[in-house]
Structure 1
Amino acid sequence: MSLDKVTFSKRYAKALFDLLKSDNELDSGYEDLQSIKAVFEDNPSLSSVLSDVSFSETNKEQLIKSMIDNASSKYIQNLIKVLAGSDNMDKMVSIIDAFVDIYDEYNNIVHADLISAVPLDADQQSKLKAAFAARTGAKKVVLNSKVDASIIGGLVIKSSDVIFDGSVKSKLNRVKQLLLK
């Protein structure tokens, strides 16, 4: 019986996290994994090519070798070898994503979506990050900024645990609900 992709990815990510942590390589390992993920994102067909039986083994080995050579951690190099040897390279990105989740939780990093009616400059975003970090107890906040004029004004910040909705649209909706009572 084979494991589903999520369970498989979480197990490998946890094992990799524990190994990197034990050798004080968490941050460099994180950087290696981000670089590998970027390669997969820049080449969307890479996973299928590495799993395609019609693609020559020599070409696969060259692609795998370049990934191994670019990874500074022996643990990540071994992960690539194991996944390639078991035809599981299509799970690499999901393993990296699971690793990042564990890494972020360990380092108390919160990812949040910031929606504003107008673009915010770096200083405004920096202040929002600091305020949201204080509110959530995070050491670091990573914002994914979007502009949505439909919120009329103000802003909305959403993370997996917290939603702060200071949009004019929401305030108008609350007033509307009060008036309809």
Structure 2
Amino acid sequence: MSESDQVTDTNSEVSGVAERYARALFDLALEEKAIDAVEADLARIEAIMDESEDFMRLVESPVFTADEQLSAVSALLDKVGMSGTVGNFVRVVAQNRRLFSLPGIIKAFRKILSIHRGEQVAEVTSAQPLGDDDLTALKASLKEALGKDIAIHAKVDADILGGLVVKVGSRMIDSSVRTKLNSLKIALKEVG
């Protein structure tokens, strides 16, 4: 089984288009010995998507032309000072009318990178940003439980109210306050 097959097997949510683009970006980053820089820049792009509803509309909406997407993406990348491999890559994605695949491309890139590093990815959602100490402790706990090195991809979602949602492969541990309140609500309906 090739590395590409392993990515497909571990994440059926990622489209073939996203995986092909991610593989091309990974191969380029590997060739340029810039894997860490590309990983960091992709995290910056993802943070922009998470923080900007306007940017997400641009990414998700099919009504914008390729030229409009390329122009807007170029202006944003220039504003945040992102050039180089990831800046050029995002421009190519926009020019090819594949901007809608950008979230999947980032996810697929992380999966490919984790396989390359021999790690397993844990997607961790918290109500507030986790500190370095919290991330280190969580990483150590997951490594002990799973017996593998862990790469943590942390997200913030205030809607979970508190606690954590941890997803590793097909496993999910949901200790969020929102889920606990929903369970209590259901239990109270059954009693009443």
Q: TM-score range by the shorter chain?
A: 0.5 to 0.7
In the alignment, is residue 92 of structure 1 matched against residue 102 of structure 2?
yes
Equivalent residues in 2 for 1:37-76, closer than 5 Å? 37-49=46-58, 51-53=62-64, 57=68, 61-67=71-77, 70-74=81-85, 76=86
* Residues in 1 aligned to 2:49 and 2:168: alpha-carbon distance in whole angstroms: 26
Local SS of the residue matching 1:12: helix
Structure 2: which 5+ runs fail to align? 1-13, 174-192
Supply the AA of the counterpart residue of 1:71: M
Q: Which TM-score applies when normalising by structure 1? A: 0.60
Q: Displacement, 1:132?
A: 2.9
Tell whether the 8 Å contact from 2:123 to 2:152 is kept in structure 1 after alignment: yes
* Residues in 1 aligned to 2:22 and 2:66: alpha-carbon distance in whole angstroms: 28
Taking a change above 3 Å as real, the CA distance of residues 159 and 64 of structure 1, as seen in their structure-2 partners, is: same
1:117-168 deviation per Cα after TM superposition (whole angstroms, max 9, x unaligned): xxxx9868745532431342323353869856xxxxxxx976326689xxxx
Taking a change above 3 Å as real, the CA distance of residues 157 and 84 of structure 1, as seen in their structure-2 partners, is: closer
For the aligned residue pairs, the C-alpha RMSD in angstroms reads 4.1
Local SS of the residue matching 1:142: strand
* Residues in 2 aligned to 1:22 and 1:55: alpha-carbon distance in whole angstroms: 28
Supply the AA of the counterpart residue of 2:25: L
Structure 1: which 5+ runs fail to align? 116-120, 149-155, 165-181
* Residues in 1 aligned to 2:166 and 2:144: alpha-carbon distance in whole angstroms: 14
Taking a change above 3 Å as real, the CA distance of residues 7 and 139 of structure 1, as seen in their structure-2 partners, is: same
In the alignment, is residue 137 of structure 1 matched against residue 147 of structure 2?
yes
**Percentage of pairs with the same residue:** 21
Q: Displacement, 1:91?
A: 1.5
Taking a change above 3 Å as real, the CA distance of residues 49 and 130 of structure 1, as seen in their structure-2 partners, is: closer
Matched with 2:16 is: 7
Q: Displacement, 1:27?
A: 0.6
Tell whether the 8 Å contact from 1:64 to 1:84 is kept in structure 2 after alignment: no
Supply the AA of the counterpart residue of 1:160: G
